[in-house]
Structure 1
Amino acid sequence: MRQSLEPVIKPLAVMESQCPFCSVQCKVKVTEENIPESSRLSYKAEGISNAASEGRLCVKGMNAHQHATSAARLLHPLIKKDGRLVPASWEEALQTISGHFKSAIKERGPDSIGVYGGGSLTNEAAYLLGKFARVALGTKYIDYNGRFCMSAAASAGNKTFGIDRGLTCRLADIPLARCIVLAGTNIAECQPTLMPYFNKAKENGAKIIVIDPRVTATAAVADLHLQIRPGTDAALANGMLKIILEEGLADESFVRARTKGFEELKSHLEKADLSEIASLCGLNAEAIREAAVTYAQADTGIIFTARGVEQQTDGHMSVRNFLNLVLATGKIGREGCGYGAVTGQGNGQGGREHGQKADQLPGYRMIDNESDRAYVASVWGIAPEQIPGKGVSAYEMMELVAKEQIKTLFVMGSNPIVSNPNARLVEEGLRKLDLLVVADMFLTETAALADVVLPVSAYLENGGTMTNLEGRVLLREAARPVPGEARHDWSILCQLANQLGKGDYFTFGSSEEIFNELRLASRGGVADYYGITYDRLRREEGIYWPCPSKDDSGTGLLFREKFAHPDGKAVFTVVESRSPQETPSADYPLTLTNGRLLAHYLTGVQTRRSPSLAAREVENFMEINPRTAQKFRIEDGEWVEVRSRRGSFTVRSRVTKQIREDTVFVPMHWGGAQNVNRATTPELDPFCKMPGFKTSAVSVRPVRLLQREGR
């Protein structure tokens, strides 16, 4: 037998980890190998069996290792000298930061310092960042980029149910649902490893209703697609509720036994006009009727919302109206039923539970609640009055920076210059700071403006827990050494606290030690992690919260018998049908909405540094309907300027019938001149402080015509 002349390739390393991107948190195995007759290494990623993705990986997960192994990684601290960022030692970097912190606190007070976190941090890092802000610095100003992701759904869930957890049911309940409503969510591109759950539901006879102004990959599998005008979701839900009540399809026994506030809602809906609602939404009244009856008549059903509904200045109330639909039909608290807020960021759920938000303490405790403050203070070993009060939301913090009320900013795991609305104001504000510190893996658009940049470890190197969209806590083990001089984010916080004279409160030597304190700090809270341990997570793979004791298996399906309010009842609310916060005009005749692409994630910091992912979408673009393109003399593939009252950006056009004629769509993954947030509105939802990303009035012009006019 002839022997093969092919060289035998032996793996140099096999790394088991967890995809760092979306909220599914798929388990992954990355194999590192030598390329024969080359000094280069090759990597192969494959999915590992797990309860959420069942071993599947999407294109982002298959290529996540590319950014972690990128030559562009920051491997040494950088300090700005003579206008340039140059390498520095850790000692110099930490002394520079701590020295400035001390002088800023002495001269201006601790609230002159802001701390800005991220929804991709581990639970341990998010917890420690909140503790660092409040104990080491003493500032009330801490918030994070998850404010732009989940805040509307979180506040709506708290008000309606008494608890905020992404899914009130389990992913395993999806195939049991006979009707599924996907409102403002493009799961096929944003969480593609979940699509088999929906395909299975269809095989079982489920009807899928998609609500989206675009014909997305998700809409393509729908039985009914409601191509809604952006910003009118609350009105649509009112139309559906009106039909359900008029047709006698409400679950009256459930409503009587387990809810309150229904009569006020019923009275409000009696006055609603379905034809006016249909006109406002840009839909046919019969399509609204079909959606309402299909959902109400199904024995089981789940409603999912995401950023399309939530990233509006009435996002909180829009979600609450979809929750009204859930309650009115009694589709919650049993198998195949519930509500799901499809979390966007990898740890968007856990990141908001343990103190990274302006108004919260660990365990989803509220910072203005005296007993909550007292309990957390006892865990931290300080007096309750030493915990600062409530700060402001992420964008409001940027406004304080622009007004020079915050003069020092510490950013960890976020890129606010790209992700915030009204991005030019944010950039102008950051340039005014006395000191900007950024801890990141790459020289992001924000880090490029920093005075000190600290290199941090990537997902393959930094162990810790993450909480996925269904409330399942997962352990991500460190799989390889940290490269260069990069350090774990939690370690950096401990070292800085030590230099600030607060080291006794930050004596952690591992992520597990931090988690054990987090468990204690969350004990008895809404998000109770006390019964979850690293040992259990290794044995059981993942555990749902709340989990109050070590012999508790966790709660996957919420509200079987009661809701989380003290009286056990869920709360209906009256929601007005209204136009978007910004409507088209003669000068700005179109509505700009934004969103995500399959190949990219958030501001593109990681995915644009993956050659395989970047090659799929090299530059940003604007989707525009053919008739609209003809009206504004725009050709397919040419550069266009998109302008709002805040500013403008430039992208290529992509002419497609997949978008409404009155709407243009631009992805959110690019910075600089292609940053959609140069034009988005900074107006905030009054309940949750979510910016209105989805409905900005704009004009569009071909760049060639502007050049002819000398603009």
Structure 2
Amino acid sequence: MQNTATPTHCPYCALQCGMNLTPTPDGTVEVSERADFPVNRGALCGKGRTAPAVLARNVRLTSPLVRDEGGALVPASWDEALDRIAGELRRTREAHGPDAVGVFGGGGLTNEKAYTLGKFARVVLGTSQIDYNGRFCMSSAAAAGIKAFGLDRGLPFPLEDIPKSGCVILVGSNLAETMPPSLRFFTELKENGGTLIVIDPRRTRTAEQADLHLAPRPGTDLALALGLLHLVIAEGRVDEEYVGERTSGWEDARAAAMAHWPEYVERITGVSVPELRETVRLFCEPESAMVLTARGPEQQSKGTDTVGAWINLCLATGRAGRPLSGYGCLTGQGNGQGGREHGQKADQLPGYRKLDDPAARAHVAEVWGVGPDSLPGPGRSAYELLDALGTDIRSLLLMASNPVVSAPRAAHIEERIRSLDFLAVCDVVLSETAALADVVLPVTQWAEETGTTTNLEGRVLLRRRAISPPDGVRSDLEVLHELAARLGVEKGFPTDPEEVFEELRRASAGGPADYSGITYRRLAEENGVFWPCPAVEEAVEQAVEEGEDALLDAPLPDDPARETPAARTPGAHPGTPRLFLDRFATPDGRARFVPVSHRAIAEEPDDEYPVLLTTGRVVAQYQSGAQTRRVAELNAAAPGPFVEIHPRLAARLGASEGDPVAVVSRRGRAVAPARITTAIRPDTVFMPFHWPGEGRANTLTNPALDPTSRMPEFKACAVRLETVGRERAG
């Protein structure tokens, strides 16, 4: 066992904070500061500091489990477990066809595992039915970004640009709790004289740091953005030169915005006209400004249009494709970006290629050694796939996800999972979903394996193995290799992550998310490489086509927009830290305005369900809590669910601090202690979604889907409140 520190990255959120890991005598690792990584500069949140706790043998799975005739999950050998999975998947395909087998992945899988899972589904199983929980993360922002810019990358610039901007509007993000190390960039923004505007229906810890906090009614972010654009137009703040030179579609978007006058928007959102005017002033007066969105505006049945409206605001004011300005999305899951770029998403192939594009199919099929016609077409989105379990989809292979807790309308999804003919789960712990499986396979964790992830900036990173996994634990790549062999595909599924990455490079070459110029050696020498990063041959060809004389010349040091990583392989493409500075990724190089108009959420309050519910996260837990709920320090800080209620609403209900309160929607009932606070709007309640059982917030949430992104409406649904043990209350 090595005793030196291994530089690597945190297993949790999309910051992918740098850290050092040193093996300890108990077989786990000790976390220490890694100040050289620019995203966190050594800072770590509680989740990152305590991540090694889940490596302990008494916390995690160390043996395959197979359900016996009595219905219990019992230890089994790897051969028995793998044979059972392969046999059941084969039987389902033979009896019901390949699309009767589903595959569901996770945003925590490395690029190599996400790539291999997508290949396994399409080449070995021949199924179109694959998607992943990243659909619940930033799919609406991705769809809007592709419509407007021709390309989706969470942030089109590094986080280090934020403090240098003049103003940042942060929409629906509580970074102080979800990504604490990133808050320093916003603190530095203010120290540098910039302005922070936070838009959130709650006065969160992040909102408390803002120069201006707007608290709109949940589900009205679209109207708010349109109202701001209306004022930009009315006050003569449109950057007409930029709009004329770098965009298209302005007149239709302008007409749509003009229908949302300030007083109308005030009635919809609850944000006053003076606050709207002040927001426009603060955003437009500096030379540079940004809009950053997160799950608040995105997790809506109109999330794509909502993000599109914020992008329109950036375009009209010349705030995209310019230094220290732009629109960006704050990706949530650790590898939510890379997970969809390389094949887990129902409609995408590696390199962010579209599955229904004949040229994309031909390219990837050649890399995979199969015919293009053998690849299935696009399948169902995540919620639609889960909703089809037990009917059209009879067997499911699930990796690194816990939809029993994290999916909308979770009680219904739990029923669908229970109705499957067969469920196999690969995970590091016995999650609530794994506990329902017929076979559970224990797999390696972040510190026990090497692989790449792509953080919210589009920075591809190398996570390094620091320790060996316990006996009885295998990697997901080994699982897919063994299953492929049992299902008749002996080659094409290597277990070495670097070998997989080399194939991924070829598969992504020439695609929107081009990784072909990135190597493990390079990632080991640099603090990540930003995609797109074509191989040198392709980069030179592209430079010639675009008339660039010195593609690989070092940038001028006084030009932050042209800054590249400090260290890079000589002669290699430098990567692309900043997108769109010269042109957008559209056929004509222009950004596209998309006209949008306000519409209501799918389920407005009424007499029976008069209150709005919105959901979110707390600092000490992560996603479904499957891992963080096993860490004593984190549980001490956040032991269970709660319902955040304004004092006026609590008084009408007759509830006091800590009283059990039932929150009831058309989909079910959840019970949790009341937390009474003026930080929430009087017409709204908030619940975090990390817990199962009677406090499961996603029992209540609405699966109404955005028509473009297929994102469920997690952020707003109608509920009523009841004091437990009493009759229905208001």
Give the structure-1-normalised TM-score.
0.96
Distance 1:40 1:152, change over 3 A: closer
Unmatched tracts of structure 1, length 5 or more: 1-9
Task: After TM superposition, give the deviation of residue 649 of structure 1 in Å.
Answer: 1.0
Task: After TM superposition, give the deviation of residue 349 of structure 1 in Å.
Answer: 0.7
Q: Is the aligned partner of 1:521 residue 2:507?
A: yes
* Structure 2 equivalent of residue 20 of structure 1: 11
**Alpha carbons 1:316, 1:685 under 8 Å: kept:** yes
Deviations 1:16-55 (A, max 9, x none): 3311111110111233445xxxx89884543442021122
* Structure 2 equivalent of residue 580 of structure 1: 601
| Residue type of the alignment partner of 1:609 | R
Deviations 1:520-544 (A, max 9, x none): 0000000000000000111112100
* Structure 2 equivalent of residue 239 of structure 1: 227
Task: After TM superposition, give the deviation of residue 13 of structure 1 in Å.
Answer: 6.3
1:65 corresponds to which of 43, 52, 57: 52
Task: After TM superposition, give the deviation of residue 593 of structure 1 in Å.
Answer: 0.2
| Residue type of the alignment partner of 1:630 | A
Distance, in Å, in 1 between the alignment partners of 2:119 and 2:457 is 26
Q: Is the aligned partner of 1:615 residue 2:611?
A: no
Distance, in Å, in 1 between the alignment partners of 2:27 and 2:162 is 44
Q: What is the DSSP-based 3-state SS (H/G/I as helix, E as strand, rest coil) of the residue aligned with 2:713?
A: coil
Distance, in Å, in 1 between the alignment partners of 2:168 and 2:291 is 6
Give the structure-2-normalised TM-score.
0.93
Distance, in Å, in 2 between the alignment partners of 1:203 and 1:475 is 32
Distance, in Å, in 1 between the alignment partners of 2:375 and 2:530 is 29
Which structure 1 residue ranges, 4+ long, deviate > 6 Å from structure 2? Answer: 39-42
* Structure 2 equivalent of residue 380 of structure 1: 368
* Structure 2 equivalent of residue 426 of structure 1: 413
Distance, in Å, in 2 between the alignment partners of 1:293 and 1:400 is 49
* Structure 1 equivalent of residue 615 of structure 2: 594
**Alpha carbons 1:233, 1:318 under 8 Å: kept:** yes
Task: After TM superposition, give the deviation of residue 554 of structure 1 in Å.
Answer: 0.4
**Alpha carbons 1:243, 1:293 under 8 Å: kept:** no
Deviations 1:617-650 (A, max 9, x none): 1111010001100011111101111100011111
Distance, in Å, in 1 between the alignment partners of 2:480 and 2:267 is 53
Q: Is the aligned partner of 1:114 residue 2:105?
A: no
Task: After TM superposition, give the deviation of residue 568 of structure 1 in Å.
Answer: 0.4
* Structure 1 equivalent of residue 445 of structure 2: 458
* Structure 2 equivalent of residue 130 of structure 1: 118
| Residue type of the alignment partner of 2:210 | A
- After the TM superposition, which residues 117-516 of structure 1 pair with which residues of structure 2 at under 5 Å, given as runs? 117-402=105-390, 404-506=391-493, 508-516=494-502
Deviations 1:94-122 (A, max 9, x none): 10011111111111111000000000100
* Structure 2 equivalent of residue 7 of structure 1: none
Distance, in Å, in 2 between the alignment partners of 1:175 and 1:580 is 34
How many residues align? The count is 692
Distance, in Å, in 2 between the alignment partners of 1:204 and 1:257 is 31
Distance, in Å, in 2 between the alignment partners of 1:536 and 1:13 is 21
Distance, in Å, in 1 between the alignment partners of 2:55 and 2:662 is 34
Q: Is the aligned partner of 1:603 residue 2:624?
A: yes
Deviations 1:449-507 (A, max 9, x none): 0000000111110210000000000000111001121111111111110110112222x
Deviates further, 666-675 or 222-231: 666-675
**Alpha carbons 1:277, 1:577 under 8 Å: kept:** no
Distance 1:573 1:41, change over 3 A: closer
Task: After TM superposition, give the deviation of residue 579 of structure 1 in Å.
Answer: 2.2
**Alpha carbons 1:13, 1:33 under 8 Å: kept:** no
Distance, in Å, in 1 between the alignment partners of 2:534 and 2:355 is 21
Deviations 1:310-365 (A, max 9, x none): 00000000000000011011112222111110000000111110010000000000
| Residue type of the alignment partner of 2:217 | R
* Structure 2 equivalent of residue 696 of structure 1: 717
Q: What is the DSSP-based 3-state SS (H/G/I as helix, E as strand, rest coil) of the residue aligned with 1:375?
A: helix
Distance 1:399 1:504, change over 3 A: same
Deviations 1:381-406 (A, max 9, x none): 0000100011011110111115x110
**Alpha carbons 2:352, 2:511 under 8 Å: kept:** yes
**Alpha carbons 1:589, 1:697 under 8 Å: kept:** yes
Distance, in Å, in 1 between the alignment partners of 2:403 and 2:495 is 30
Task: After TM superposition, give the deviation of residue 556 of structure 1 in Å.
Answer: 0.7
Q: Is the aligned partner of 1:555 residue 2:541?
A: no
| Residue type of the alignment partner of 2:507 | A
Q: What is the DSSP-based 3-state SS (H/G/I as helix, E as strand, rest coil) of the residue aligned with 1:86?
A: strand
| Residue type of the alignment partner of 1:637 | G
Distance, in Å, in 2 between the alignment partners of 1:168 and 1:620 is 35
**Alpha carbons 1:584, 1:590 under 8 Å: kept:** yes
Deviates further, 70-79 or 320-329: 70-79
| Residue type of the alignment partner of 1:546 | P
Deviates further, 292-301 or 354-363: 292-301
